[in-house]
Structure 1
Amino acid sequence: MKKKGKSLSIFIVIIAAILFFAFAGFKGFVLGGWEFKSFDKVITRGLDLQGGVSVLMEIQKDNVTPEELESTKEHLSLRVNKLGVAETVVATEGTNRVRVDVPGKSDSKEIVEDLSKSGNLVFKGPDGQEILSGSDVKKATAQANTEKGGYEIGLEFNDEGQKKFADATAKYIGQKISIYLDDEMIQEATVQTQINDGKAAITGNQTLEQCKATAGLINSGALPVPVKEVSVTNVGAELGATAFPNAMKSGAIGISLVFLLLLILYRYEGLIACITLTLYTILSLLTFIEVGVTLTLPGIAAFLLTIGMAVDAHILVYERTKEELKRGHSIKSAVKKGAEHALSSIIDSNMTTMLCALILYFIGSGSVKGFAITLMVGIIISLFTALIVNKLLVSLAVECGLLNKYSHFGVVKKEAEKHV
């Protein structure tokens, strides 16, 4: 009796927690002046869901190196962020193109003109006086700081820049020199001593990725590459505003029908599956928010597809359980054997889908990559909820006596007696 009571308590706590987070995620609430925002307020939406401008820029140069492509991307990212638009997405496509998605904007001409301008990189002293220009920089690299640990940005100047920098570091010892790209400060550092050899390092609490990004911006300013738009797509705000609610409505109808089917076929066990799938939905949306996934219509399609994969995993387990019950096994034994026998089929089907998603991610571009990322995230979470959470909930329900009849699994006892 003590074991049953403990299992029942754990079962109730888990169910209550899932239902609470479901309510909080989809409705939101305010408690003591602190607001828990609903998913639709915090999740990042793509252009097709809120409207905006998508511009594909192409580098006008043969044999573009990966470094030049990345530098151009960082350069355009900094430039477009000056527009003050949140959720801007800048990504490389192919070997010489960069796509810039600017949500909530309608003036594509202004955006294209802003993106097409060549960069203007300058070094300024604390008095605002220009010390060097981008043409004085030979190269900038992200490198490890061998003395203090961590990472730093290494700078190397050409002959003319070497002399200018030596004079500036002598003048501004103990003061800061700032680096500006298009009047936007991207880095600043305090001069420790005069530097005469034309090589300097910008240290500080920076990650390797931050150092790479800044070095890319400095290189793009020092060696600007011409870019030209090859396609401009405008998505109207009205279309985007209509698309999102319609997508949510169709998704809700589809999920509701799936839940209804589970309840009809598997009864109480199907009810547990509905609760598990609710948890899957919550975890997926939370992951999208934390990772910064931009949700698009293809992404919503991928999300609904992964719900189908999650349902498939539950059905495989439940059908195996029903087979074991029909063979005359006890409920506890049938639940255990059903999960074990379905495991290989579940892993095989999900790994095949994961492989397809990986291929789409590395070969595809734009919305195809978004589809692939959403699909991969969904597969991983669906395996967790189906193989771990659902198995735990069903086991607890069996131990506490909530699942103690064949009919609770959608099996008629007479069918089981025929196989004994």
Structure 2
Amino acid sequence: MLNRYPLWKNLLIVFVLLLGALYAAPNLYPEDYAIQLSGTRDIHQVDQALMDKVTAAIENGGLEIKESELLDKSGLIRFTDSETQLKAKQIVSQAVGENYVVALNLAPTTPDWLTDIGAGPMKLGLDLRGGVHFLLEVDMAQAVGQRLDVYVSEIKTKLRQDKLRYRAVEHLDDGSLSVKFSSPETRDQALSLLRKDYPEFLISAEDADGANFLTIMLTEATVRSIEDYAIKQNLTTLRNRVNELGVAEPLVQRQGRNRIVVQLPGVQDAAAAKRIIGKTANLEFRLEAKTDANSALTETYDFRSEPGRKARLEKDIIITGSSVSNAQASFDENGQPQVNISLDSKGGQLMNRTTRNAVKRRMAVLFVEHKSRMVTETVDGEKVEKRVPYVEKKIISLATIQSVLGSQFRITGLDGAGESSELALLLRAGALAAPIYFVEERTVGPSLGAENIELGVTSVQIGFALVLIFMAITYRVFGLLANVALCLNLVLLVAVMSMLSATLTLPGIAGIVLTVGMAVDANVLIFARIKEELKNGLPPQSAINAGFDRAFTTIFDANITTLLAAVILFAMGTGPVKGFAVTLSVGIVTSVFTAIWVTRALVNLTYGGRQLKKLSI
């Protein structure tokens, strides 16, 4: 019988539509503004006592809390609006101190029964709502200082190789290097050698206090090159870290001479993001000082996990974390966490050369963190808060070298599995070439302004309503059926976008509008074909069947070409262009399904198997 789907096909369409409605449902539950509290290390746990202290501080500040909850290793406090969220963050930061990370967040409100089946809301891009904005500043002075420290070690090695005796090589506070000699002849030989091998140096010879000195400065071009490298390396490292976090469509880009903008749309754990992004997490490998070592050539450091325990280390650095090519967290034979390290070729050579003459001595692994703290200073009689950077270096491992080391070895002595995994992630993503500090952190609202977004959404709603009215007036009953299919198309589109964890942006909304137009266009082709068949004298049932069958080829060809264009846009484009391409691609698939099969099913249920004299079209 014409225009009757078999039962299995009707059931399949109903199943797809119900599944789509189920996975689109989480978008009906808006996210809460929240702050997330977590420890900077495993030993700083968030417990109920801390949460009680924090909530009391917020309430004493005159702010209203919607809900607070203690999670596995963090705490989450929800609020009703972003203004309260921002004020609460300042209060909590002052209450907990620097051992805890206080980050802005957007907390989901999706019911557990939906999350249990893997359903979640569609992520919104930073130009709509949802996500975190970080403005980071790169410490250029530290970048140059770190490079000068490397030059200190290189100059010592170079002078030893050429058997030129020196008394000291020092990195001075004014950003210069000072090399001290006992005789002017040795000083002059070193001057010729260094000028030949280091064209980036500006070297001058001086005599003072009965000693002979070389004063070394870097050229302006070299300083600028170091700064540019620091920014580029930090950009690469931050992108790698963001990729490890699995954030959709992130933005990591340079701003000005020494700043970097990081935007994370739809991020769920802002505290973890801030901790991973902000940590320099570099390593320094040094030998333990000998008992008779000159105190001027050694430094004393605390152990990270054993307060009160100290060790004296040589100032010379064997290698740093920048030589690490790969790092994986694992467990040793006793079940203790460790990080397996692989070095690049240069790092492996330096490690081999140093440990060849240091078997049975102990080597330390220093964990280097660049931090900052808020201090209050009095300026012109007024108290001013100022962020002061500082460097914290602590020993995480001090082990005896049992044999000559090469490109692969392991780090032990970590606090727990969480710290070993985080350290491996940071080293794997790459070391930062210079410390970075958080200058600004905020949730990001519409980049075009809330008013423009509201007007844009309103225009979409008006356009959609006009399409529905046009279809109903022009094609009557068929138009109403097409309108139902069009609404179901949007439900399926949102469901698929949610299942793919895609990020919706303003260009994505444009893709939705285009999808609506294409879906209507397919129905218009079908209905126009049905009218044409009726004019040619076909009975109503035959006209319906012919209209859907003969319009299929045209609809399929048109959508395939558009889909190919969308795929090319996705492959070649970036950022907003990709967002538009994803929405358009998904919309093409759902619109073909609803325009042909869903509309056909609705028409069949309305007219199929009946004796018809005319159609309301």
Tell me which interval the TM-score lies in, with the shorter structure as reference length. Answer: 0.5 to 0.7
Q: 1:246 aligns with which of 455, 469, 474?
A: 455
Partner SS, residue 407 of structure 1: coil
Matched, 1:155 2:348: no
CA distance in 2 between partners of 1:91 and 1:359 (Å) = 21
1:308 Cα shift? Answer: 0.7
Higher relative contact order (CA 8 A, sep 6+): 1
Question: Partner residue of 1:139?
Answer: 325
The aligned runs of 1:164-203 (5 Å cut-off) are 198-199=407-408
1:60 Cα shift? Answer: 3.7
Question: Partner residue of 1:288?
Answer: 497
1:312 Cα shift? Answer: 0.9
**Residues 36 and 197 (structure 1 numbering): CA distance in 2 closer, same or farther, change over 3 Å?**
closer
Matched, 1:333 2:542: yes
CA contact (8 A) 1:60 1:226 kept: no
Question: Partner residue of 2:614?
Answer: 406
The aligned runs of 1:348-359 (5 Å cut-off) are 348-359=557-568
1:280 Cα shift? Answer: 0.9
Deviations 1:164-189 (A, max 9, x none): 8xx9xxx9xxxxx9x99989xxxxxx
CA contact (8 A) 1:251 1:304 kept: yes
CA distance in 1 between partners of 2:480 and 2:594 (Å) = 14
Question: Partner residue of 1:50?
Answer: 129
CA distance in 2 between partners of 1:303 and 1:73 (Å) = 29
Matched, 1:120 2:281: yes
Question: Partner residue of 1:74?
Answer: 240
CA contact (8 A) 2:239 2:252 kept: yes
CA distance in 1 between partners of 2:514 and 2:562 (Å) = 10
CA contact (8 A) 2:511 2:580 kept: yes
CA distance in 2 between partners of 1:5 and 1:383 (Å) = 18
CA distance in 2 between partners of 1:24 and 1:42 (Å) = 8
1:73 Cα shift? Answer: 0.7
CA contact (8 A) 1:135 1:223 kept: no
Question: Partner residue of 1:304?
Answer: 513
1:313 Cα shift? Answer: 1.2
Question: Partner residue of 2:430?
Answer: 221
CA distance in 2 between partners of 1:126 and 1:54 (Å) = 28
Structure with the higher strand share, 1 or 2: 2
Deviations 1:299-344 (A, max 9, x none): 1111111111111111112211221222122333222222222122
1:282 Cα shift? Answer: 0.6
Q: Which amino acid aligns with 1:45?
A: L
Question: Partner residue of 1:210?
Answer: none
CA contact (8 A) 1:277 1:385 kept: yes
**Residues 216 and 57 (structure 1 numbering): CA distance in 2 closer, same or farther, change over 3 Å?**
farther
Q: Which amino acid aligns with 1:155?
A: S
Question: Partner residue of 1:101?
Answer: 263
**Residues 222 and 35 (structure 1 numbering): CA distance in 2 closer, same or farther, change over 3 Å?**
closer
Deviations 1:37-71 (A, max 9, x none): 9xxx9332222223874879999459x89xx9765
Structure with the higher helix share, 1 or 2: 1
Q: Which amino acid aligns with 1:75?
A: R
Q: Which amino acid aligns with 1:383?
A: V
CA contact (8 A) 1:43 1:295 kept: yes
1:154 Cα shift? Answer: 7.9
The aligned runs of 1:261-410 (5 Å cut-off) are 261-401=470-610, 404-408=612-616, 410=617
CA contact (8 A) 1:46 1:103 kept: yes
CA distance in 2 between partners of 1:268 and 1:337 (Å) = 18
**Residues 327 and 277 (structure 1 numbering): CA distance in 2 closer, same or farther, change over 3 Å?**
same
Identical pairs, percent: 29
Q: Which amino acid aligns with 2:280?
A: G
Partner SS, residue 140 of structure 1: strand
Deviations 1:272-294 (A, max 9, x none): 21111111101111222222222
Partner SS, residue 47 of structure 1: coil
CA distance in 2 between partners of 1:215 and 1:348 (Å) = 50
Partner SS, residue 292 of structure 1: coil
Partner SS, residue 128 of structure 2: helix
CA contact (8 A) 1:70 1:216 kept: no
**Residues 266 and 141 (structure 1 numbering): CA distance in 2 closer, same or farther, change over 3 Å?**
farther
**Residues 20 and 357 (structure 1 numbering): CA distance in 2 closer, same or farther, change over 3 Å?**
closer
Partner SS, residue 325 of structure 2: strand
CA distance in 1 between partners of 2:15 and 2:538 (Å) = 28
**Residues 315 and 27 (structure 1 numbering): CA distance in 2 closer, same or farther, change over 3 Å?**
same
Q: Which amino acid aligns with 2:595?
A: A
Question: Partner residue of 1:190?
Answer: none
Q: Which amino acid aligns with 1:407?
A: L
Gaps of 5+ in 2: 31-110, 139-226, 255-259, 268-272, 286-302, 312-317, 329-338, 372-401, 412-421
**Residues 35 and 311 (structure 1 numbering): CA distance in 2 closer, same or farther, change over 3 Å?**
same
CA distance in 1 between partners of 2:238 and 2:321 (Å) = 16
CA distance in 2 between partners of 1:372 and 1:156 (Å) = 41
Matched, 1:259 2:445: no
Q: Which amino acid aligns with 1:47?
A: L
CA distance in 2 between partners of 1:378 and 1:16 (Å) = 15
CA distance in 2 between partners of 1:118 and 1:218 (Å) = 11
Deviations 1:62-87 (A, max 9, x none): 9x89xx97654123567xx8xxxx97
CA distance in 1 between partners of 2:454 and 2:484 (Å) = 24
Q: Which amino acid aligns with 1:121?
A: N
- The structure that has the greater radius of gyration is 2
Deviations 1:7-61 (A, max 9, x none): 7x959x94996699499577669xxx86779xxx933222222387487999945
Partner SS, residue 376 of structure 1: helix
Q: CA RMSD in A?
A: 5.8
Deviations 1:204-236 (A, max 9, x none): xxxxxxxxx9988424434748999xxx99966
Gaps of 5+ in 1: 106-110, 143-151, 172-176, 184-193, 203-212, 411-420
Deviations 1:345-389 (A, max 9, x none): 212222232233233323332222212221112112212222332
Deviates more, 1:352-361 or 1:311-320: 352-361
CA distance in 1 between partners of 2:369 and 2:558 (Å) = 50
CA contact (8 A) 1:276 1:390 kept: yes
Partner SS, residue 250 of structure 2: strand
Question: Partner residue of 1:189?
Answer: none
CA contact (8 A) 1:50 1:241 kept: no
